[in-house]
Amino acid sequence: MKYIKNSKHNHEQVKIAYNVLRESNESSQVPIPIELFGGIDLHNKDYVDIVNQNPKLEDEYLRGPYIAIPTTNPIITELYESYYLLECELATLPKDFSDRSSLFTQMETHNYRLSVSSPMIIAFMDACLNTEQKLGSTQDFEKFCYYLVYNYIEHVSMMDHYMTYEQKGMELARNDLIYWCANYSFAHITNQLVDLVPFIFEGVKKNGNDAFVLQPNGIHFIKDSERLLEAFKLLKTKQSIWSRISPADGYLVHPRGPRPILDSRKNLERYLIKLKKLLITK
């Protein structure tokens, strides 16, 4: 993981987004605590009051004007850099980013913005790449499904572990923040993946295998679309997935709260090791 400093333009948008959220809460009959969207440092504080402009320690970067970018896969790294760092108008996605996949444009134009977000799609793409790399051409749909679920959970939970307040603010500024709970569980993340299923089916219906192509290089993040769709059917119906997840589950608290980042990481890694044994090594 690397931290990249946000541009002045984007940083200003983050401040605007947090202010708009706070103002809308003040006039709402049922306000949602703003700290749920970023972390407890925002309790009764404006974002500008918590920003550390010169972070040196890992904990300090979480509160700095920086964006956490994963570096394990260059395809995913580039997607995250485009999504978070390119400049555009408020409440829109950068065109150079959305043009990378028909799934991003589908999300913008077909009223999915209340159930699907760009970070969810990127996490799904990474899970697909990792699952196909591990399993090759196997036609064991159940095994493929279990690996896909594990890889998606691992990506989302690890990404949230390093996520900064600035980064959450960028999602607010893009009008693209769906998953905002400060405390969450593996079951919640799995439900998030389930929420993607009808969206992906719709993308395949409209664009066929082109739904799984990343531009401008024509890279397929899924090579066997039929296998993926069969795995999705199992994900929607198979109770054994939930029964396997349950013994490893617990509420995970991200390090934007009072827990130091090292303690938070150890806690998450312990849960992931247990989940991996239950889900894909039986």
- pLDDT level of residue 224 (50, 70, 90 thresholds): confident
- Adjacent-strand bridge partners of 214: 219
- pLDDT level of residue 282 (50, 70, 90 thresholds): low
Decide which of 130 and 205 is more confident.
Answer: 130
Q: Which residue has the tokens 């593996």?
A: 186
Question: What is the 3-state secondary structure of 129-164?
Answer: HHHHHHHCCCCCHHHHHHHHHHHHHHHHHHHHHHCC
Q: How does pLDDT run across 190-200, given as a tens digit for each residue?
A: 888 888 888 99
Residue 147 has a pLDDT of 94
- pLDDT level of residue 208 (50, 70, 90 thresholds): confident
CB of 58 closer than 8 Å to CB of 259: no
- pLDDT level of residue 183 (50, 70, 90 thresholds): low
Per the prediction, the chain carries an average pLDDT of: 87
Q: How does pLDDT run across 32-59, given as a tens digit for each residue?
A: 767 667 777 887 888 999 999 999 998 8
Please list, in sequence order, all residues whose beta carbon lies within 8 angstroms of the beta carbon of residue 23, skipping any fewer than 6 positions away: none
- Adjacent-strand bridge partners of 4: 67
- Rounded to whole angstroms, the Cα distance separating 119 from 98 reads 12
Give the pTM.
0.92
CA atoms within 13 A on the CB side of 90: 13
Q: How does pLDDT run across 90-112, given as a tens digit for each residue?
A: 999 999 999 999 999 998 876 67
Please list, in sequence order, all residues whose beta carbon lies within 8 angstroms of the beta carbon of residue 155, skipping any fewer than 6 positions away: 123, 126, 127, 130
- Rounded to whole angstroms, the Cα distance separating 282 from 269 reads 19
